[in-house]
Amino acid sequence: MGKIKFYAVLAMLMGHLGFGQHEELDLKTISRTYIDAYFGKSIDIFASMMADEVEWSDPTWAEVDPSTKLVSGKTKVLQHLKQATAEIQNMSYAIDHHFVSGNFAVFEGTLNYEWKQEATGKVFSFSMREVSVLEFESGLIVKHTDYTDFKRWKEQYTSQLN
């Protein structure tokens, strides 16, 4: 993501915060900007919205890999996400529902992407339900938890093996 676009988004967010709009609207705008950047793999944008002590997890990934665990600290979270999405392409997230309650923002939608298996070059396509829950403190994300239908992922993966 270019620096100009990053600063344009930041200026937009600061404008919303500076004009004294209702806190929920601000959090809704900030969380939507974050989630669009997150699923768009625009790391510079979503990283700027995370607290240094941010925690990231997807407990549902245990359906695929039982060793999954919480990742803590901004540097480790960003490294994990870069590695986890390195072979993902054409990712989109169609949001069905987005709401804010207190210091939480919740998204529900359909995650679509292609994964190119490095070893074989084969491209797999996936479409599954996904929920992201973001917790904020002082305007920054301190906890990001994804819940994805990885049972469906496994079915799609298996059906594309042949």
pLDDT over 80 (residue 10) = no
The confidence band for 9, taking pLDDT boundaries of 50, 70 and 90, is: low
Give which of 53, 57, 91, 87 is closest to 73, Cα–Cα. 53
What percent of the chain shows pLDDT beyond 70?
85
What is the pTM assigned to this prediction?
Answer: 0.82
The residue with tokens 């079915």 is 155
Per-residue CA distances from 116 to 52, 113, 121, 160 (Å):
31, 10, 6, 12
Distance CA 158, CA 117 (A): 14
What is the token pair recorded at 87?
């072979």
The residue with tokens 């992407």 is 113
73-117 pLDDT per residue, tens: 999 999 999 998 988 999 999 999 999 999 999 999 999 999 998
Total domain count, the chain? 1
DSSP 8-class letter at 90? E
Are the CB atoms for 130 and 39 separated by under 8 Å?
A: no
Are the CB atoms for 90 and 114 separated by under 8 Å?
A: yes
Here the CATH number for the domain that contains residue 99 is 3.10.450.50
The gap between the terminal CA atoms of the chain, to the nearest Å, is 37
Give the range of the structural domain holding residue 53, as residue numbers without chain letter.
3-159
Give which of 128, 115, 134 is closest to 56, Cα–Cα. 134
The confidence band for 162, taking pLDDT boundaries of 50, 70 and 90, is: confident
